[in-house]
Amino acid sequence: MLRWLKQLFSKRPIYASHRGSERAVVSRHNKVCADPPPMHWSPCHPSTMRRFKASMTCPYGHGLTLREHSIGADGEVSPSVVCPTRGCSFHEYVRLDKWSFGEVA
């Protein structure tokens, strides 16, 4: 009931959280951009890849970069990703689908 009330009075969708060893999968966007669609990622320009790694958008439409994170060869991001937008509840361990840039610390 509480979830229903939150959704009723909120302008943003309730995100189904993934806990435990499961990671939220973030799909690859088909072009390099700073603002991919919600739950998509886009690689940063090759000249800034080592510093910023990738841009992604949380399920609520807030953009962020993964500059403070490490990305494994399989796309697993660590530490967990927290949306920096005030009031946003997105906080997940994520895996970037179709990551092809190897390990980036």
Q: Per-residue DSSP letters for 34-93?
A: SSPPTTEEEEPPGGGHHHH-EEEE-TTS-EEE-TT-EE-TT-BEES-EE--STT---EE-
Residue 74, pLDDT > 90, answer yes
Domain assignment present for 2:
no
What is the structure's pLDDT at 71? 96
Domain residues for the domain of 64 are 22-96
- Do the Cβ atoms of 23 and 76 come closer than 8 Å? yes
User: Average pLDDT in the 15-30 region?
Assistant: 74
pTM exceeds 0.75 for this model: yes
Q: Give percent of the chain with pLDDT exceeding 90.
A: 63
Domain assignment present for 102:
no
Mean confidence (pLDDT) of the chain: 84
What is the structure's pLDDT at 102? 92
Q: What is the pLDDT of residues 24-65, one digit of tens each?
A: 999 999 888 889 999 999 998 888 888 889 999 999 999 999
Domain assignment present for 56:
yes
Domain assignment present for 90:
yes
Domain assignment present for 81:
yes
What is the structure's pLDDT at 51? 87
How many structural domains are present in the chain?
1
Domain assignment present for 105:
no
CA 51 to chain centre: 17
- Radius of gyration from C-alpha coordinates of the chain: 14
Domain assignment present for 5:
no
